[in-house]
Amino acid sequence: MIDLYTFATPNGQKVSIALEELGLQYKTHVVDITKGEQFKPEFLDINPNNKIPAIVDHATQDHRPLKVFESGAILIYLAEKTGQLLPSNQRGRAEVMEWLMFQMGGVGPMFGQLYHFARFAPKKVPYGIERYHAESRRLVGVLDGKLGSGDYVAGRYSIADIALYPWVAGARASFPELFRGNSNVVQWLHRVGSRPAVERGMKVPQLK
């Protein structure tokens, strides 16, 4: 059994999608970041960086609970634990890792900054909005170019697709102009989003 500590954000959804795809048993614990619950001592014991998601795996080889935080690290851990969604061969693994890091170091931070400056900043800062809008559109274009040569970002469906999907789906809903002329990404969104495990994972956690 895996304990999942999460909230309804793209980073949280990445892990719930992976757990659903891999068919692993897990229990969801809501960490309401709007109420500062990520700063509670019991959660900081799991993730000292006070960010969701985090997991505690109770079904380990040494039979001791294992804590894992950072969404990318969790995806790699789960893929290696099950032998799924991450190729074992050198070239395939390297390609998945490239696009996973593309999400972790590019799509996530840049889309996140665009959301902040365009939607949540107390004062509108045109420079910030324009900077992150342009970079987000560039990243969508990079992804579109890659998807022009295949159905998934690294050949077969993998943790790279899982990492990207919640962020890209959310951006399309909020900033549709980023996707004009990027039909490969739009088709990929439909392809990945129609997977039953993705549909289930995107609904975790169920917030009242």
pLDDT tens digits, the chain, 208 residues: what are they? 999 999 999 999 999 999 999 999 999 999 999 999 999 999 999 999 999 999 999 999 999 999 999 999 999 999 999 999 999 999 999 999 999 999 999 999 999 999 999 998 999 999 999 999 999 999 999 999 999 999 999 999 999 999 999 999 999 999 999 999 999 999 999 999 999 999 999 999 987 6
Identify the CA nearest to 141 among candidates 178, 173, 167. Answer: 178
Domains of the chain and CATH, by start: 2-85+197-203 (3.40.30.10), 90-195 (1.20.1050.10)
The burial class, CB within 10 Å (0-12 / 13-18 / 19+), for 117 is buried
CA 15, 108, 187, 80 torsion-angle sign: negative
CA atoms of 167 and 104, how far apart (whole Å): 10
8 Å CB contact between 108 and 11: yes
pTM (2 d.p.): 0.96
Could you tell me the two tokens for 101? 């890091």
Could you tell me the two tokens for 71? 């969404």
Could you tell me the two tokens for 186? 């739009």
CA atoms of 194 and 189, how far apart (whole Å): 8
